[in-house]
Structure 1
């Protein structure tokens, strides 16, 4: 239980009023890098702890197959409102003794436009589990981060999170205009549908969820969480606020320096040394965003105490921060990977590249090209291409009313057979398998484990300062203490935010 009087960044609301907005949002990173434990530690302080909503069905299924150390998955599933669903999941995936060495994980059903019931139930229950655990034992705010690019997962993941009482839903990597209405419907247990992008589609296709297929008819209405749209530009903010039905409750304004997926440069993309070139057009006009009157947080190299204060001076509530939390001991990143990253950071050898080709989505993606990981060219070249997790694949129309699915990271022959272009496969990495390996759950095929794929933000200033303060590493609350501690009233040697952006663009 947190100590509310001393929790950093917490401004207690008066009884009966809206809870105070959090100063720090801990970014929702990777597949279970931002796991329930990290979000729980952050939320205890009154700041916003965020779980990653990516691949949660696979994450929970693999934790169960590894024996569910600590019993956390089973403890959360025991609170799922439909016991029969929880029982079926345990029966299929739980292995009390864990897997034998070298044994492959059982697969979970791939996401499709019309999922089978066990796929739907697993996605709903897995999101419930992650959020329930993140909220356990405190009253701080918890959010879930979803990718608009993984459209087929959004509806069941959002509903499962809402069943667990999630406070915020954050969506980026696309144009999340449908989310406000979707959350309204799910809160009332109404049929909720979401249009999906289909390559070559001649008609509208939508995935849907009827909550009454999951919970009983008499189940009470749910709390409607706040929706934060993750955006990279003020034009997108203007588009989302045109109508009440598409207007979010706030924005996270994320620059291209942030880790994970980045918005592509506006206009024609120019590549230099394998990285996209960003310019002044790609910088969000914070003053224009402030005029929409919605709360917003700044992200992407706003991770020092000075920049937290600068963000507030620009009208922001606070900041969203990822890298220093990804590197902290509470994150889902394996201790081995974290140790290698911190050693490289200490030796000034840690490199982060904006890879224009890595992600099957076509969005630029931050990659750490560390030896032994998929970010290293020799490891990428040796890997046998396979797309079995399939979260980032794209739907395409075979004929009106009939869909297929393809991924630029799958075997080239398969992709071409499905109508894809060979040029789209060049340099594409398997983010799905790589990110699962990063959190210690790599698939095993014929005795060979999938290699990890590491992503961080480009600006390592805060991480270096934290490492100087904590040479053996830091935990989530130490990271928050650093961010929200005493900050000098005036900047001296630290460059202004505008100067840093100008340097990054050059």
Structure 2
């Protein structure tokens, strides 16, 4: 199970905060789903001169499953051969790589679940997986590469971020929460110092729980300082942007300002939740971010959610933005990590005006509204949802909580209802919840095959505005998207 050892990637010299003197990109390719924004997509966008972004969500499980499938093409083994601690990479390969790949009906070997207790194998897998994804995205060009994380998945953040920094990530983007501790985390890790972040634990009162990483435990040899990536905080309000910008300890290097029509999770409406006749959250004037107030903070910002056209870019620039973030157009391009059959079905439905994307207030275990694309055969169908056995075996969206006896437990509204209720929460909170972890993993062709023969169905998400398709080729590439936005549609 060993690999041909290539020269380890050299650790980069520290050049101070920021990416360098390069101007900020006009287009940011969104970091989408589990593996939708994979290294091939990010690399294609960066080759076109814009910011390519890989999704940092669940890279440990996607790396492990791709290795178990035999790593077709050998790309992951090529990346791991350049990891600066060869013995660590070899341990990951020995655990998960299967020459020739497992049989189609064989279940994938599980990976260590996230938790507050230290777990060296879990940290090694996360560091290596994030390194490999960024490393591959950066090959063959000199464009910028970023990686997108969710603040909601705090337990994964330290090890994942360090792996991305080791590979030379130019940007870290973080949403789904308040990334107030990430600037300090980046500062520490580029100097290979230990660092930790606070983890929200339900019922913990004033007790502070943390998760961290000591780089010296992974790279015992002395190492040169690394280059610090820029941090872009993904926010939905000027109030949160102002809060983060007020102190050097919390200030990011820029913002991505999302509207509620962007794909994936969106912030809930401010105030009391109201639903329209279709059961979707109702947003009002209080939910509209003031771009003037964001511009006054003096940091670059990009607008996202319904801006993925040349007209959208013009509107963003007129509002004082540096540019735009585009997700759905890239999610449907040829380099997307989506299972190709599912991608083509989404394209056909969207092009024919038959694609329904619902902002479901209950689908996500996080409690945030989540865009669910309704495609036959996926979890969006009530029959498919009803047939799926409820279980939580990946656990990225589990919430730590304090048990009555004081120990730490973990619960998720997508787990079996009775199990969730026994953990101290009302059973009705679990109604309608979908397992995003398994559904989004299945959407990129890595769904689990259960030992009883059940195969996890896919869950698809997309933005609600598909106007970007007008003028694009029927089966478009990432470069087509960039040209379509920067140059405008053909005349």
TM-score (norm 1): 0.91
2:283 counterpart residue number: 278
1:375 counterpart residue number: 380
> Which residue, out of 66, 76, 86, partners 2:79?
76
1:463 counterpart residue number: 469
Measured after TM superposition, the shift of residue 447 of structure 1 is 1.5
SS at match of 1:316: coil
Q: What is the alpha-carbon distance in structure 2 between the residues aligned to residue 456 and residue 322 of structure 1?
A: 8
Q: What is the alpha-carbon distance in structure 2 between the residues aligned to residue 104 and residue 324 of structure 1?
A: 33
1:7 counterpart residue number: none
Q: What is the alpha-carbon distance in structure 1 between the residues aligned to residue 187 and residue 351 of structure 2?
A: 47
* Alpha carbons of structure 1 residues 320 and 393: separation in structure 2 relative to 1, 3 Å: same
The CA RMSD measured in Å over matched residues stands at 1.4
Residue 93 (str. 1) matches residue 61 (str. 2): no
1:238 counterpart residue number: 242
Q: What is the alpha-carbon distance in structure 1 between the residues aligned to residue 406 and residue 193 of structure 2?
A: 25
2:320 counterpart residue number: 315
* Alpha carbons of structure 1 residues 413 and 249: separation in structure 2 relative to 1, 3 Å: same
Q: What is the alpha-carbon distance in structure 2 between the residues aligned to residue 24 and residue 115 of structure 1?
A: 38
Point out where structure 1 has 5 or more consecutive residues left out of the alignment.
Answer: 1-15, 490-506
* Alpha carbons of structure 1 residues 401 and 132: separation in structure 2 relative to 1, 3 Å: farther
Residue 341 (str. 1) matches residue 343 (str. 2): no
2:455 counterpart residue number: 449
Residue 257 (str. 1) matches residue 264 (str. 2): no
Aligned partners of 1:143 and 1:166 also within 8 Å: yes
Q: What is the alpha-carbon distance in structure 1 between the residues aligned to residue 40 and residue 374 of structure 2?
A: 27
1:496 counterpart residue number: none
* Alpha carbons of structure 1 residues 142 and 401: separation in structure 2 relative to 1, 3 Å: farther
Q: What is the alpha-carbon distance in structure 1 between the residues aligned to residue 303 and residue 246 of structure 2?
A: 22
* Alpha carbons of structure 1 residues 125 and 286: separation in structure 2 relative to 1, 3 Å: same
Aligned partners of 2:55 and 2:148 also within 8 Å: yes
Aligned partners of 2:333 and 2:476 also within 8 Å: yes
- Deviations along 1:53-82, whole A, 9 cap, x unmatched? 000000000010111011011000001111
1:474 counterpart residue number: 476
> Which residue, out of 367, 370, 395, partners 1:390?
395
- Deviations along 1:329-387, whole A, 9 cap, x unmatched? 10100110011111112321111000000110001000012110011111111110010
TM-score (norm 2): 0.94
Residue 28 (str. 1) matches residue 31 (str. 2): yes
Q: What is the alpha-carbon distance in structure 1 between the residues aligned to residue 96 and residue 184 of structure 2?
A: 34
- Deviations along 1:295-353, whole A, 9 cap, x unmatched? 00000000111111221111111100000000001010011001111111232111100
Q: What is the alpha-carbon distance in structure 2 between the residues aligned to residue 144 and residue 476 of structure 1?
A: 17
Measured after TM superposition, the shift of residue 413 of structure 1 is 1.4
SS at match of 1:368: strand
Measured after TM superposition, the shift of residue 463 of structure 1 is 2.1
SS at match of 2:249: helix
> Which residue, out of 154, 157, 182, partners 1:154?
157
1:205 counterpart residue number: 209
SS at match of 2:292: helix
* Alpha carbons of structure 1 residues 375 and 17: separation in structure 2 relative to 1, 3 Å: closer
Which range moves more in the overlay, 145-154 or 414-423? 414-423
- Work out the number of aligned pairs and report it: 470
> Which residue, out of 170, 175, 180, partners 1:177?
180
- Deviations along 1:178-216, whole A, 9 cap, x unmatched? 111110011111111100111111311011111111112
Aligned partners of 2:130 and 2:163 also within 8 Å: yes
> Which residue, out of 270, 279, 304, partners 1:299?
304
Q: What is the alpha-carbon distance in structure 2 between the residues aligned to residue 191 and residue 32 of structure 1?
A: 28
> Which residue, out of 132, 137, 143, partners 1:134?
137
- Deviations along 1:233-277, whole A, 9 cap, x unmatched? 000011101111100000000000000010111111112332111
Aligned partners of 1:201 and 1:400 also within 8 Å: no
Q: What is the alpha-carbon distance in structure 2 between the residues aligned to residue 394 and residue 270 of structure 1?
A: 25
1:435 counterpart residue number: 440
> Which residue, out of 41, 65, 84, partners 1:62?
65
Aligned partners of 1:345 and 1:464 also within 8 Å: no
Q: What is the alpha-carbon distance in structure 2 between the residues aligned to residue 415 and residue 317 of structure 1?
A: 44
2:6 counterpart residue number: none
* Alpha carbons of structure 1 residues 269 and 196: separation in structure 2 relative to 1, 3 Å: same
Q: What is the alpha-carbon distance in structure 2 between the residues aligned to residue 357 and residue 214 of structure 1?
A: 40
